[in-house]
Amino acid sequence: MSGIESYAGKINRKLNKKLRIIDVAAGREKADLVLKNATYVNVFSNELCHGDIAVAEGLIVGMGTYSGVTEVDVTGQIVLPGFLDAHIHLESSLVSPTEFAKAVLPHGTTTVITDPHEITNVMGTDGIDYMLQATEGLPVDVRFMLPSCVPATPLDESGANLDYRAIDSFYEHPRVQGLAEMMNAYGVTHAFPEVVAKIVAAQAHHKKIDGHAPDLEGNNLNAYIAAGVYSDHECYRLEDAIAKLQRGQFIMIRDGTAARNLEALAPLLCDKYVERCMFCTDDKHPNDLLEKGHIDYIVKKAISLGVDPIIAIKAACHNAARYFLLNNRGAIAPGYLADFVIIDDFRSFTIQQVYKKGVLMCDHGVLTDFPAPEIDPYLVSKSHDTFHLRTLTTESFADNRPRGVIGMVDGEITTTDAGYSDHIDVEKDILKIAVVERHRNTKHVGVGYIKGYGLKRGAVATSISHDSHNIIVVGANEADMAYAANRVVELNGGIVVAANGRSTAEVPLAVAGIMSDEPLTVVNEKLESAKEKAFTAGVSRGVDPFMTLSFMALPVIPTLRITTRGVYDVNSQQYI
């Protein structure tokens, strides 16, 4: 069995490791690492405890009095378990998973649960393979929930259309935890067989099923949960969250870039409810990661809102670990992974050091370097060749028939029905908006109008348009719309701000049109510069020029959306 470890050999190796763990725990052998004189959060007894914390073979083996090969005195500091993000789309960071890990490790995040539905909508199951390979062996554990809605609805034109059979084999992967957010709540509550089959298949593999059902209530909510959906991260009202929690769902309290729900849901972080609550970010853009942080930012914010620090810590690690059956993390106790976050105190909550499996990965903001995982060259090549469409012209956007006007809402991704228009009227803030199919060269261009974006001249285009990631473009004239969209294609994906037939700002996103090959700091610099160019061109300061725009193409959020076939009314389920 050359090159392959035999079963007996594997058992023997693990046995020797276990015997050493026991010897270290019993005090018969020195630990690899001891955090001396530690004050640590005990998530089981809900208190601060004191003692040495001993580590061997990457695991915590005991708390008490220990000696180690390496000893670190943490007197006066507080040791926490590593943080866990319960739901995130890594693609939202606009950078590679390696760059994402470099960004969040200094903030104490040691595990994330990702839903790769962004790249999967572009590349199909190759997108799942790409992300599995791109996250293998990173010092942030990346676990997966398989995309449930590719495309998000039958209205979308994405790069793939996946039923339960297409994703079934991925459940056997050791880092797959279950089925990701079931956005097609309508399909579940109305018993669409092809939708419910995905839930049944996930349950057959004994996996979790996450939810996505804002404002679902009454018998429809009962039906959704009875189908087997265990959690929800879309609650933005306390009453909605409590109704779901009372029916047995776990609540992921989201505070990210696109949606910030912590303030509304902070009352859940009390003894009565917290056991069924955890933290997530959903989407986290470069500037947020660099300027604010990650899960640590949510913890600090919760404490500032009056939440007991230990309760906030439990929601940041232990509760999510239990929900996802990651039973060896999220606590400081024997047998748990030695993932530590060391802070100065709860008031300032400054992270001093971060350990991953007993290895110091970040010391006062200085990160230990680590290599990027190897990715199959075929997948790399395919991820850089995802645009298949003809060159666009002014006439591509010249439809002047009356179309619905999407009314934007400052600071929100929901919209209103703002009536109809048949032409651009910059003075009245009526702009043209379009979605261009880019995966299969169908030549479909859906045209409509939008109010509230504020652009006074030129156009803005991006290949980030949830969730199918076709090209979405808004403009004060059709010529600049065509130029901006064509330039996105030339870049193999990205964000373009244009005026008078030339680019004023660009953010290349060559990986599937949604991620960059460049470092996070470089991407952030380009993105912030592009935002300023968009604001200078008139975009309202109450609107994120690119993120908010990207959600205008997602036909599961009320009221009006734009698809490759035109303006769609989500409430009435029809084109207008």
pTM: 0.95
All residues at 6 or more sequence positions from 272 whose CB lies less than 8 Å from its CB, including other chains = none
Contact 140, 105 (CB under 8 A): yes
pLDDT interval class at 262 (50, 70, 90): very high
Q: What CATH number should be reported for the domain holding residue 228?
A: 3.20.20.140
Q: How many residues does the chain have?
A: 576
- Would you say residue 178 lies in a domain? yes
Q: Do 193 and 255 share a domain, yes or no?
A: yes
pLDDT at 179 over 70: yes
Write out pLDDT tens, residues 430-480: 999 999 999 999 999 999 999 999 999 999 999 999 999 999 999 999 999
Residue 28 CB partners (closer than 8 Å, separation 6+): none
Question: What are the tens digits of pLDDT across the range 197-235?
Answer: 999 999 999 999 999 998 899 999 999 999 999 999 999
Q: What is the pLDDT of residue 377?
A: 98
Task: Examine the pLDDT at 348 and tell me if it is beyond 60.
Answer: yes
Kindly state whether residues 261 and 402 are assigned to the same domain: no
Distance CA 62, CA 448 (A): 63
Whether 52 and 92 map to the same domain: the answer is no
- Three-state SS string over 418-465 comes to EEEECCCEHHHCEEEEEEECCCCCCCCEEEEEEECCCCCCCEEEECCC
Q: Are residues 29 and 72 in the same domain?
A: yes
Supply the mean pLDDT for the chain.
Answer: 96
- Mean per-residue pLDDT for 80-93? 98
* 5-35 tens-digit pLDDT: 899 999 999 999 999 999 999 999 999 999 9
Q: 332, 79 in Cβ contact below 8 A?
A: yes
Residues 469 and 522 in one domain: yes
Judged against a pLDDT cut of 60, whether residue 2 lies above it is answered with: no
pLDDT-derived band at 384 (thresholds 50, 70, 90) equals very high
Q: Is residue 370 part of a domain?
A: no
- Asked if the structure places residue 379 within a domain, the reply is no
| Residue range of the domain that includes 353 | 1-76+332-365
Least confident of 66-75, 188-197, 404-413: 404-413
pLDDT at residue 3 above 80?
no
Write the secondary structure of 351-363 as one string of H (helix), E (strand) and C (coil): EEEEEECCEEEEE
Q: Are residues 342 and 241 in the same domain?
A: no
Q: What percent of the chain stands above pLDDT 70? A: 99
Q: At 556, list the tokens.
A: 């599961």
- In the structure, what pLDDT confidence band is assigned to residue 1 with cuts at 50, 70 and 90? very low
